[in-house]
Structure 1
């Protein structure tokens, strides 16, 4: 008895498989009653804003570390740190008593030799020989050079701001003995700021001088700082296959500081692209797919390459053509080859955003 039931079961299974094979071979499709209810929209060709993203570092428009040129004690300090200074402002003075005395001595010697030369020139060639006049003129020139050298040494004892900027923290005090190379403070011109970043080499043909740059920092959450590309590196790094770009960022409110990390977005104009709602995307690991409905209302699943993302929208670079009807809602119960019934069909209605 058990053997007969077992044989009967096998026969039923074979008969059912034969029926299924016959149905597939005849091209039978699901009936309307079995159609999956979905929402679709038409893939639209439109202008898509192009942009490149990176991270960069801010540096001052001009930056310098103020140091001493000689060994001497500090006699006066005229800054505390963090304040704005103008070009030529005196920041530090070093003791120069001995040099000032030598300067007065050199000035006296120059006056003396100049008087001797004038006296010889007044007497004329009948009394003063040409050799005497030449010797007197040489003495004047020598004393003038000595005076200029002393003035230069005294100037080295007065440390001034070389340009307008914000002076950093003071590293020295009155009475400190400075030696050549001793750091006094940093000085940065922070308006505008230079923003240095890198881009992959495939952007080299797309970016140009003058492109608009927007940058954001975690220090100022939600704030966007604008600027323009001013320089493009002349080389591509063979290790990273990237090239350097420099932009100038407006910092008139002085909120940015050198060394800050910035998230950078460079506008590269617009180009035609296929756009659909982002709800159409099915992401499985690294694979991106969408469902496309053909003329017979049959859904097929296609792999796509995602391009630019915009608020509520995404660009499809490959896999979908203009005019294709793409499923935007109802994909959970949808399988490839299933018949669909559209709850709402129509062209893309959402406006383009122009950026993430």
Structure 2
């Protein structure tokens, strides 16, 4: 290799080294890891600046005195009480001309359900017309003979007989009119109307326009919507603890236990419990659901949102907001239901409990 080639190779190597050195000097340094700002501790309090508390999303809510305590969540079945279901029967055979409601509709008492055309209504109307004509003749005859009886022209027995015939004709008219009223019959059109005897919800509608109906069928079933019955299986361990008069909840609805069975089913090791429940959007007859059973809460117990409860070193704690900061308070937790947890001790009614940002406070307290 001559000197010229040697000088060229050396220049190339020098240029490469200079470029690498320039790149190294101008490469941005990696950011230093940011360590979390430790919470300050003052008199056992966890002190968090106001701006940091807002960033952490910390929210508080006062603890409320608890009047009842959750005992158990039970699978249950909703049903109407035995006296709250009514079958609307077709009084006379005929053909459905028109229906006004469908299954699931809410109806008021006396509301029309369907119009049915029936020959029997025409026949009843004809009988009523003939009975009315006979009544007119019998009444006129009774009036005439009564006048003759008062004048002494005829024997009184004949007037009495005429009055008896008029009374019989009047009773016949009344009976046929009553039958037409009972079936809501319309003699002129030969139709009658099915109406609901109670206010409620149509839970069965086995009827459609153009179809025949018999006088022994019940095209509609109406359930009263103001009250329902709940049946649930009570575990053996709670038999004797749960009593009539205790409260149940289904969502925001509150009901009352009416009966607790005294016999344990050997297959399920449970007893039957029944309760009443008011109407609501979640209450549908035949629906399977879950109910929460509540008993009296112990004295001094409070209720807080379930998000307020956390665990530190295996113990249940909540954070209490005070004027000096946030205090870690050990608690004895009871049952939980509908997003609320029962605290048996550790928190007094009215104390402000952290309900949001609990995880952040937990991390700060463990970093102290």
Provide the TM-score with structure 2 as the length reference: 0.52
**Contact map agreement 1:311 1:355 (CA 8 A) in 2:** no
Render the CA deviation track for 1:10-54: whole Å, top value 9, x for unaligned: xxxxxxxxxxxxxxxxxxxxxxxxxxxxxxxxxxxxx99352442
Classify the secondary structure of the residue corresponding to 1:172.
coil
Q: Contact 1:84 / 1:167 at 8 angstroms: preserved in 2?
A: yes
Give the distance between the partners of 1:103 and 1:109, measured in 2 at CA: 10
Note the C-alpha offset of 1:90. 1.9
Match of 1:259 in 2: 286
Q: Residue 70 of structure 1 corresponds to which residue in structure 2?
A: 92
Among 165, 175, 182, the alignment partner of 1:139 is 165
Q: 1:245 maps to which residue? A: 273
CA contact (8 A) 1:65 1:183 kept: yes
Gaps of 5+ in 2: 1-66, 184-191, 300-307, 316-327, 338-368
Structure 1 or 2, whichever has the larger Rg, is 2
Where 2:173 maps in the other structure, the secondary structure is helix
Residue 245 (structure 1) shift: 3.3
Q: 1:230 to 1:238 in 2, by over 3 A?
A: closer
After the TM superposition, which residues 171-250 of structure 1 pair with which residues of structure 2 at under 5 Å, given as runs? 171-200=206-235, 203=238, 205-215=240-250, 224-229=251-256, 231-232=258-259, 236=263, 243-250=271-278
Distance verdict in 2 for CA 1:90–1:312, change over 3 Å: same
Contact 1:77 1:173 in 2 (8 A): yes
> Deviation at 1:135?
2.8
Q: Distance in 1 between matches of 2:261 and 2:172?
A: 47
Q: Where do residues 1-356 of structure 1 align in structure 2 (5 Å cutoff)?
A: 49=69, 51-60=71-80, 62-95=84-117, 96-124=121-149, 126-127=152-153, 129-154=155-180, 155-156=182-183, 157-168=192-203, 170-200=205-235, 203=238, 205-215=240-250, 224-229=251-256, 231-232=258-259, 236=263, 243-252=271-280, 254-270=281-297, 328=314, 349-350=330-331, 352=333, 354-356=335-337
For residues 189 and 54 of structure 1, what CA distance do their matches in structure 2 show? Answer: 25
Q: Contact 1:93–1:158 at 8 Å: present in 2 too? A: yes
- For 1:236, what is the secondary structure of its paired residue? coil
The offset of 1:97, in angstroms, is 2.5
Contact 1:50 1:271 in 2 (8 A): no
CA contact (8 A) 2:261 2:273 kept: no
Change (3 A) 1:80 1:259: closer
Cα distance in structure 2, aligned partners of 1:149 and 1:165: 31
Rounded to whole Å, the distance in 2 between the matches of 1:129 and 1:196 is: 74
Q: CA RMSD in A?
A: 3.8
Instruction: Mark the CA change 1:130 to 1:207 in structure 2 (over 3 Å): closer, same or farther.
Output: farther
Q: In structure 2, what is the Cα distance between the partners aligned to 1:52 and 1:131? A: 82
The structure with the largest strand share of the pair is 1
| Preserved CA contact (<8 Å) 2:80 2:228 | yes
Query: Shift in Å at residue 128 of structure 1?
Result: 5.1
Change (3 A) 1:48 1:265: closer
Counterpart for residue 34 of structure 2: none
Alpha-carbon contact 1:67-1:183 (below 8 Å) kept: yes
Cα shift readout 1:209-241 (whole Å, capped 9, x = no counterpart): 4321112xxxxxxxx142222521676366567
Q: From the superposition, tell whether residues 142 and 76 of structure 1 become closer, same or farther in structure 2 (CA, over 3 Å).
A: farther
Q: For residue 351 of structure 2, what is the aligned residue in structure 1?
A: none
2:149–2:159: 8 Å Cα contact kept in structure 1?
no
Shift of 1:348: 7.6
Q: 1:354 to 1:52 in 2, by over 3 A?
A: closer
Query: Is contact 1:190–1:257 with CA below 8 Å preserved after alignment?
Result: no
